[in-house]
Structure 1
Amino acid sequence: MSGDGLTAAAHALAVEIRTREAPLAALPSRSGRSEDEQGRAAAIHRVCRGLRASFLRTHAAAVYDRLTAGRTRRLGLTALAEAAAEAFPGLVPTRAELDEELRHTQAEKEGREIDQGIFFREILRLPEAGGHLVDVLRDPTPRARGLLPDFRATGRAELGKVTVERRGDAGHVTFHNESCLNAEDNELIAQFEIAVDLVLLDDGIRVGVLRGGPMTHPRYQGRRIFSAGVNLADLHHGRISFTGFLLQRELGCISKMYRGLSTEGRPDTFPAHGTEKPWVAAVDTFAIGGGAQLLLVMDKVIAAADSYLSLPAAQEGIVPGAANFRLGRLTGDRVARQLVLGGRKIWAGEPDARLLVDEVVDPRAMDRAVEEAVARLAAPAVLANRRMLRLSEEPVDAFRSYMAEFSLAQAQRLYGEDVLDKVGRFTTGPSAAKEVVR
């Protein structure tokens, strides 16, 4: 489509959205609406979302090209969404609208993130635009670039809730969200990605190691915990970012662990693929939800004999990242459904655990097992074979297509009635930050 054609269509969309959404301003906030007012607001959003989806189904490629100057600008998720809000009014929420949403609990929000889900679904569906975006999101973060010289010199970076330390050939990434049982929140995920970048950028590191640190929570005082997954208190209080957490985690942080860093669009880069390294996960006590998702991209998973894994997506009410895409490949369809749909908990000693775990050891032997795994994975031929295995297991276009559907499905799930009904169960404070016994 010509630039004039896109401009005209975008102007028509902006006028239509502005006109149709105008009555929302006269309504109370979502929690204060009557049943009739809730119905009217839902109808308005339904129509406007249909208009946005229809516009993007026709113009998504041209929209992305305009925002990225023909795919020469490399914009991350948040920057791309903000650019779209400015260049195409009414297409996605503005920063001001999202800031207003952050003032409310999840149940009181207007649901503007669903409009972002529509946008990213249509961009990611496109092989060229979506493929470009998937590649862009594997660029190293600016913060990691800034920290890299000091990290190379000292071999350690204290990021807050995450630390990264070079020990011999290994880069040890450790979660330290102690009071919340290493539950994931916006801050932890941002720091986690920086740590992953540092491991991949440091030439002195050959293998990444992921582990949870010791807890201060009274119930698990002094014990290591791998991860309790998403912080449910933050989720239900509206403090989990759709782009910065739920999308960035999959398309940025975890994608980098699995595929390595991008070549940042440089056609003359040799080799043509980005920097990647093998990863070891050391599972102490439990890997719940997002913690279990991380295991699906690891090259070696070592679990303490008294630990367990679970993916309680049905209880939490959201989609468990890319687990639905990857899990069945490892466990088979039946076990995958038992985990995701039925909330099954798999203990390290069960036979089915060997579908997800490579080695089960006495908790006191974890450190030695990790060292031995690092030594094996540091072998010269590991990287080439790792890459070839990945190309066979998960073509990037298949991942892109899954993430397109995930973008909208997850945004809609954030506002599912079952999710919103859980808001009252959670209060702020460490004692309620995560329900881990299910």
Structure 2
Amino acid sequence: MTTADDLRAVRAGLDQARTVIARAVQHTDEELHALPAPEHRSPEHRALAWAAIDATRTLRAAFLGTHVDAVYDELTAGRTRHLRVTELARVAAEAFPGLVPTAEQLVDERARPQAHKEGREIDQGIFLQHVLRSPHAGPHLLDAMLRPTPRALDLLPEFCRTGKAELTSVHLERTGAVARLTLCREDSLNAEDNQQVDDMETAVDLALLDPAVQVGLVRGGEMTHPRYRGRRVFSAGINLKTLHGGGISLTDFLLRRELGYIHKLVRGVLTDDGSAWRPRSIEKPWIGVVDTFAIGGGCQLLLAFDHVIAAADAYLSLPAAQEGIIPGAANYRLTRAVGLRRSRQIILEGRRIFAREPDAGLLIDEVHDHGDLEAAVERAVERFQGSAVLANRRMLNLAEESPEAFRQYMAEFALQQSLRLYSSDVIEKVGRFSAASSTELLGRHS
């Protein structure tokens, strides 16, 4: 039970407050360890666990509401270190015991199915919500997430030399001035997981950093699944089986995806090059091609592209209500594209948008029969080359999506999405999807 004295203590000096947090969380962990494992708890046990966890989260929120800027400055050495969300949470666990889960606790959680976890990632969501909400710490974290990844920097010399990078779920090839990113999870319809996010950010970084590239093109590869064998599929959205099994991470997937490579599609990659007056970001236009469908995260991705081409029989959807989670930054971007009423129909009611219907023109720039797609793609990449395109897209993106508004949205997203991950309806839904055969799962994509 959180007392008034505890709340006063965590709002006092930082040293005293961090001690109070550590002591309170240790007591909560002892209470949880005395209970059966989450999957074996009775309703009474679950009520006891929730009460203990809720009290501790109240203290964390009060602590961060007072000290988040001091905490962030300590973790980043006065904002001289650029820590990404996963690394920031890791060092916070070490420097401020009890503030966020430890590495060992996360390893234990990720070895469990989603339904059998304690939900410790919610504590990361509380922490990152406060960091992103802060006008002092939040912009610095966004900048850290826009910097190129170490993996991309390691691969860059070879990619510049050969024009090719073969990643687990993405093939990247430079032809002329075009970087062609092909999503290649052939057996899962390009369903997204932590690996795909890592590969996509690496590929986007390489395309942005390679001086020979002027335009990026993202397209689904040919599938091997019987229902779509030999056909290109853009994306089936989040991998629900992986989510059910506990393999979708808040920081490595849900937040890294939005703050990392998708944000880089909009803002570019941030470097230390340039003088005090030149922009530090490297931006390039992006084109997306949908041959069959773009569901969930695939549809979200289209909202960050400068130009979208689709086959005449393709469709888009954001089945957020069906899956139970928040569709990334789509709630933020979709309204600007299609208006409030259509956004509610798409997100809340699961409306599909077919390429040939009039409303598709708000999300898709060109629609062609399959036989005409290749020529349309090549015409588009030719049009989007040139320095004038870069300057104008920068100004369009700035007018459409201010960094400040995006930061405020992502602050709330960090908490709300962490709560959705552990909500009973999401756990029930993904369990049902996971129990279905792959054929039954694909029925919702047909």
Q: TM-score range by the shorter chain?
A: over 0.9
Matched, 1:334 2:347: no
Whole-angstrom distance in 2 between the partners of 1:433 and 1:199: 34
Matched, 1:246 2:254: yes
Using the size of structure 1 for normalisation, the TM-score is 0.96
State how 1:328-367 maps to structure 2 within 5 Å: 328-367=335-374
Among residues 110, 121, 126, which one is paired with 2:118 in the alignment?
110
Q: Specify the code of the residue in structure 2 equivalent to 1:383.
A: L
Identical aligned pairs, as a percentage? 55
Matched, 1:225 2:242: no
Who is 1:76 aligned against? Answer: 84
Over residues 96-152 of structure 1, what are the superposed CA-to-partner deviations in whole Å (9 max), with x where a residue is unaligned?
000000111000000000000000000000112100000110111111111111111
Whole-angstrom distance in 1 between the partners of 2:236 and 2:211: 31
Moved over 3 A (4+): 266-270, 427-436
Q: Specify the code of the residue in structure 1 equivalent to 2:316.
A: L
State how 1:249-328 maps to structure 2 within 5 Å: 249-264=257-272, 268-269=275-276, 271-328=278-335
Whole-angstrom distance in 1 between the partners of 2:319 and 2:32: 35
Who is 2:9 aligned against? Answer: none
> Secondary structure in 2 aligned to 1:205?
coil
Whole-angstrom distance in 1 between the partners of 2:106 and 2:16: 26
Matched, 1:38 2:49: no
Among residues 97, 121, 138, which one is paired with 2:105 in the alignment?
97
The answer (yes or no) to whether the contact 1:111–1:415 under 8 Å persists in 2 is: yes
Among residues 165, 175, 178, which one is paired with 1:167 in the alignment?
175
Who is 1:198 aligned against? Answer: 206
Matched, 1:402 2:420: no
Among residues 386, 391, 396, which one is paired with 1:379 in the alignment?
386
Whole-angstrom distance in 2 between the partners of 1:397 and 1:436: 37
Over residues 151-189 of structure 1, what are the superposed CA-to-partner deviations in whole Å (9 max), with x where a residue is unaligned?
111111001110110011110001000110011111111
> Secondary structure in 2 aligned to 1:277?
coil
State how 1:106-145 maps to structure 2 within 5 Å: 106-145=114-153
How many correspondences in the alignment? 434
Aligned-residue offset at 1:350: 0.5
Over residues 6-65 of structure 1, what are the superposed CA-to-partner deviations in whole Å (9 max), with x where a residue is unaligned?
122111111122123321001111111001001111111111111111100100000000
Matched, 1:369 2:368: no
Aligned-residue offset at 1:235: 0.9
Shift of the 150–433 alpha-carbon distance from structure 1 to 2, 3 Å rule, reads farther
Aligned-residue offset at 1:437: 2.8
Who is 2:19 aligned against? Answer: 11
Whole-angstrom distance in 2 between the partners of 1:399 and 1:392: 12
The answer (yes or no) to whether the contact 1:107–1:420 under 8 Å persists in 2 is: yes
Whole-angstrom distance in 2 between the partners of 1:261 and 1:391: 15
Aligned-residue offset at 1:367: 1.4
Whole-angstrom distance in 2 between the partners of 1:148 and 1:437: 36
Who is 1:28 aligned against? Answer: 36
> Secondary structure in 1 aligned to 2:364?
coil
Q: Specify the code of the residue in structure 1 equivalent to 2:370.
A: P
Whole-angstrom distance in 2 between the partners of 1:332 and 1:407: 24
Whole-angstrom distance in 1 between the partners of 2:107 and 2:443: 28
> Secondary structure in 2 aligned to 1:51?
helix
Q: Which moved more, 1:315-324 or 1:39-48?
A: 39-48
Whole-angstrom distance in 1 between the partners of 2:441 and 2:183: 16
Q: Which moved more, 1:86-95 or 1:362-371?
A: 362-371
Q: Specify the code of the residue in structure 2 equivalent to 1:108.
A: H
Whole-angstrom distance in 1 between the partners of 2:207 and 2:287: 12
Over residues 297-318 of structure 1, what are the superposed CA-to-partner deviations in whole Å (9 max), with x where a residue is unaligned?
1100001001000000000010
The answer (yes or no) to whether the contact 2:177–2:215 under 8 Å persists in 1 is: yes
Q: Specify the code of the residue in structure 2 equivalent to 1:354.
A: G
Who is 2:6 aligned against? Answer: none
State how 1:205-224 maps to structure 2 within 5 Å: 205-224=213-232
Aligned-residue offset at 1:428: 9.6
Shift of the 70–170 alpha-carbon distance from structure 1 to 2, 3 Å rule, reads same
> Secondary structure in 2 aligned to 1:127?
coil
> Secondary structure in 1 aligned to 2:294?
strand
Whole-angstrom distance in 2 between the partners of 1:435 and 1:119: 39
> Secondary structure in 2 aligned to 1:281?
strand
Whole-angstrom distance in 2 between the partners of 1:86 and 1:344: 45
Q: Specify the code of the residue in structure 2 equivalent to 1:262.
A: L
The answer (yes or no) to whether the contact 1:180–1:434 under 8 Å persists in 2 is: no
Aligned-residue offset at 1:271: 1.7
Q: Whose RCO is larger (CA < 8 A, sep 6+)? A: 1
| Residue segments in structure 2 that go unaligned for 5+ positions in a row | 1-11
